[in-house]
Amino acid sequence: MSQAEINSSYIQCEHWLEILEELNIGAFIVDFNRRVTAMNYSAQALMGLRESDVVGQDCREVFWGVPCLVECLIRGDAATDSAEPDVTLQDEDDHQYLVTRMATPIFDRKHRMIGCLTILQDHSPIADLISRVQYDERSMKIVLDNLDVGIFTVNRGGLLTFFNKAAEKILGYTREALLGKRYASIFEDDAAPDVLLLKESIADGKMRSTTDGRMLTADGITIPTRANYLALRNEKDRIVGGLVTFHDLTLIRRLTQAVSDRYTFHDMIGKSPAMQKIFEMVSVVAQSDATILIEGATGTGKDLLAAAIHSASKRSKKPMVKVNCAAIPDNLLESELFGYVKGAFTGADRDKPGRFQFADGGTIFLDEIADLPLALQAKLLRVLEDKEFYPLGSRHTSKVDVRIISATNRELEKLVAKGLFREDLFYRLNVMQIKLPSLKHRREDLPLLIPHIVRKLYAARENAPPGISEEVMEVLLNYDYPGNVRELENVLEHALIICRDEMVKPEHLPIFLQELKVMRETEPPELSPGDDTSYEAEREQIRQMLNRFNGRRNETANALGIDRTTLWRKMKKYNLF
């Protein structure tokens, strides 16, 4: 390699010295023989030296005041960039500078090492600010002392100047491995949204935030983060860099992912085996046009499941029309379902389409189907069989293409046996039957449902929802919810309306749940069967509980620590009806 080629490489590096000078970053160049070849003005000011005094000198003699703690690139101890722990320099006026030093090798065109470029970054103003913020500003002190919060600072040149222990723990880097490196190295690329946000904050001094950040760990794994980006200013109010605080959202995202992928079907949530089985069935059935019958107690979410089936079906772009068969008077139900023509009855001055016509191409959801009058059941049967019907007063049939989903909180099979529901219609509706379990039979879903409902109730509000205290969570997890999910929603809505604190406490719960909590805490120990007075004592205990809860068996059974069946049996035994 000729001297001209070497000089050409050094000239290119000296151009970098000028760029670093513009960024107020000190830098100097050392050749393969450890001789200083160039030094910019920032390095001269920082070191208290002149370039003319050091060029040609051995770096080990020139920089005796800056101990070379990095692995020497020239000696061959390191093949890539190397950084050292912060070192303190002191000038003639006893002013101290906290300096980060980073060395990077210089290669020729054939990738042979010919020297190194050393960068000296004074981040004393930033360190002073971090110290001041940490010890003088209480709010920021809490942030910096919080082990869950990673913090790093950068200078205007884009080099990392501070990296706290939490950041080390989250990202898996050591501080020494990153100081002096470009901060973009911990993001996916130089154009990553996080990098742009930090650049913008440094440029205009305004804070920015993201809840959808991404950072790279030392292992090359991308993790989700929530981050704030702030500009750092020195004592002259000049922006000298930026500060980033970030949280690792990996666990939260994993939970969200688990809920999204495994525990939900559209807006329904459940990880219990019963709900998982329903989700698996529905994901297949939704793609067909099969008629579906949903059975379940009041408040279990039958309408929500019907909507989920429609949303997952090929009919999702068409309307879903809901009809509550129990809410419409019998004499109006036929015209509501099937419509009427002009002159069908007094006051019918025009044709009016029914709910089936509105649902053409989509889905009609017949809730409380057990309350459909027998006279209309025959007409509904024809719609199921022939996809056509006569509007009230019409001599011509109307054809519709609808999928029928029906629901009931009563067992249709028993109604059929009593002659209250047509057997042929039952079998036509019961092509696919889905039974929704009561909430007390899927208690493992409560830890998922509670935060989901709280978030839903707070969706329209600007402030974050309060937390749920352990005492309240214990009450919520041990209540049977005779009204099922709907009752759970009502309980949580009541508590959130009453609560004005950062945490929902027992006093924010409905009165009956507060009483239930007190009764459980004060209930006497279980009576021994061998006790001579056990019969009267137990009878009196049950009677008092029934009086306390105004005869409500669910609350009474909960307070006694027994199920409703056992309570009913004991009430019969002690003649307490």
Question: What is the three-state SS of 252-281?
Answer: HHHHHHHHHHCCEECCEECCCHHHHHHHHH
Tokens of 263: 């525990």
Separation CA 162–CA 137 (nearest Å) = 19
**Phi/psi of residue 343, each to 5°?**
85, 5
| Residues β-bridged to residue 153 | 162, 243
**Phi/psi of residue 375, each to 5°?**
-60, -35
pTM of the model: 0.51
**Cα dihedral across residues 360, 366, 372, 377: positive or negative:** positive
Q: What is the pLDDT of residue 520?
A: 64
Separation CA 411–CA 413 (nearest Å) = 5
> CB-based contacts of 244: which residues, under 8 Å, 6+ apart?
150, 151, 152, 153, 154, 183, 198, 227, 228, 229, 230
The answer to whether the beta carbons of residues 201 and 181 sit under 8 Å apart is no
Question: What is the per-residue burial (b if ≥16 Cβ within 10 Å, else e) of 465-491?
Answer: bbebeeebeebbeebbbbbbbebbbeb
Return per-residue pLDDT of the chain as tens, 577 residues. 455 555 555 555 665 676 566 556 778 888 888 888 888 887 887 777 788 888 888 887 776 545 454 456 655 544 444 444 455 555 545 556 666 676 777 766 666 677 787 877 665 544 454 444 433 334 444 444 444 578 888 888 888 887 887 888 888 888 778 888 888 888 877 778 888 999 998 898 888 888 788 898 887 778 888 888 888 877 677 888 888 888 887 755 554 444 444 566 777 888 888 898 898 898 889 989 999 999 999 999 999 999 999 988 999 999 999 999 999 998 889 999 999 998 888 888 888 999 999 999 999 999 999 999 998 999 999 899 888 999 988 889 899 999 999 999 999 999 999 999 999 999 999 999 999 999 988 988 888 888 888 878 876 666 778 888 888 988 898 888 989 999 999 999 999 999 988 889 999 999 888 887 776 666 544 444 444 456 677 788 888 888 888 888 777 887 787 776 677 777 877 778 6
Task: Kindly compute the dihedral angle of the four CA atoms of residues 271, 274, 279, 281, in this order, to the nearest 10 degrees.
Answer: 160
Using CA atoms, how far residue 133 sits from 57, 139, 210, 399, in Å, is 42, 9, 22, 74
Eight-state DSSP code of residue 521: H
Q: What is the pLDDT of residue 231?
A: 85
> CB-based contacts of 242: which residues, under 8 Å, 6+ apart?
153, 154, 198, 201, 202, 229, 230, 231, 232
How many helices (H) and strands (E) the chain has is answered by 24, 22
Q: What is the pLDDT of residue 529?
A: 43
Scan for tokens 């459940």, then name that residue.
Answer: 270
257-263 contact pairs (CB < 8 A, 24+): 259/448, 259/452, 263/448
Separation CA 291–CA 405 (nearest Å) = 6
Phi-psi sector, 266: left (phi>0), alpha (psi -120 to 50), beta: left
Task: Kindly tell me the burial class for residue 124, based on how many C-beta atoms sit within 10 Å of its own C-beta (0-12, 13-18, 19 or more).
Answer: middle
pLDDT tens per residue across span 87-104: 555 554 555 666 667 677
Question: What is the per-residue burial (b if ≥16 Cβ within 10 Å, else e) of 37-58?
Answer: bbbbebbbebbebeeeebeeee
With H, G, I as helix, E, B as strand and everything else as coil, classify residue 62.
helix
Q: What is the pLDDT of residue 512?
A: 86
